[in-house]
Amino acid sequence: MTATIARIGTRPIRIPLRRPWGPDVHDLSVVEVAVEDSDGAVGHGFSWTPTIGAAAVRAHLDHDIRRFALGREADARVLWDPLWTHLHEGGGGGITTIAMAGLDLALWDLAGRRAGRPLTDLIGRRHDAATVYGSGVNLHYPLDELVAQAERWVAAGFDAVKVKVGSPDIARDVERIAAVREVIGPDRRLMIDANQRWSLERADRAIGELAAFDLAWIEEPLRADDLAAHVELRRRIDVPVALGENLYTRYRFAEFIDAGAVDVVQPNVVRVGGITPFLRIARLAAEGGVDLAPHLLIELSAQLALTLPGDHLVESVEDASFDALDALAEPSPVAVSGATASTTGRDGLGIRFTSEQTDAAASARPTEEP
């Protein structure tokens, strides 16, 4: 008899950052999701958002998602489409898909634990190691701190690094990227990320000046949902365009790929709704002839990269993995050595959060706990 979803519980978690991502970004918000099936097996997943929306995500899980999912088959691939169809009247992406990811990940974890297999092997392993690049949320760093970070990346053995741009004065960006290129040398790949800060004209001008530093890609140069502007920018520049951390459904990824607006797609496994849609987006990228580089969440992204054909860069933000932030109750499912990441072979997702970092204020509202 097919197991069904019997219980769903949530727990809010606040994880302090060791290196703030900006004046008002000092911690990460996680909503841990535990799902129990009718046979008594339990899986753990999570939703994630750096600053905004964690309370809304948890409320969506505790009410709309729980109400719909209870009693249905405990299979992420079976549940995802009808759940999204049910929820998308309230929003096709954003809070909707971030909340859906918590349950999707928990169901994949449950499947892996029941099978006694790591996530990578459950999906289908293609590689034993993935290539990792050094990344930092560093636009607010003084130049000497940025240079020191680049030096740490070189010392760690990274063959590719990514730096934030988008200063009010383009000359500041040029100075900083020149300094990083000098530190990392001519042979390492250098990517830049504008985090949607530019207009079309400003992006054209800035990239024209920064392209001299042999850029592997420019990430999120424009507002993430402005397809027409990305098409025009891609027509004007030679630097490859990367985007996707702020696209929320496979439909939006398909539009950007089909329009020729992107060279590297960067789905965030939580923001797109979990592993189930992430794998669909990966297939879209392969069919469309564009590269894929998962966004953040290395404990998950590295595991998924090992299941995909080809070599996919995995992002390692300095001191920002769950493991580096001491947020995990058990050893990490991913081991990073120099510029490579591999799995440690733990069943399911292999991600369990400590009890010490529960957000006490947010926990005031009761929830079911398996």
Q: Which residues does the annotation mark as catalytic?
A: 164, 295
* Of the candidates 201, 257, 247, 191, the residue with the CA atom closest to the CA atom of residue 224: 247
How far apart are alpha carbons 268 and 266 in whole angstroms? 6
Q: Where are the alpha helices (DSSP H) in the chain?
A: 54-60, 66-69, 76-87, 95-115, 119-123, 143-156, 170-184, 200-210, 227-236, 250-258, 275-288, 298-305
Q: Closest Cα partner for 25 from 101, 138, 133?
A: 138
Output the six-digit token pair for 16: 């302090």
Asked whether the beta carbons of 153 and 138 are under 8 A apart, the reply is no
Burial of 269 (0-12, 13-18, 19+ CB in 10 A): buried
Contacts of 102 (CB under 8 A, 6+ apart): 10, 31, 32, 33, 45, 46, 47, 57, 61, 270, 274
Whether 104 contacts 275, CB under 8 Å: yes
Measured at the CA of 111, the angle between CA 253 and CA 30, to 5 degrees, comes to 60
Q: Which helix (H) or strand (E) holds 160?
A: strand 160-164
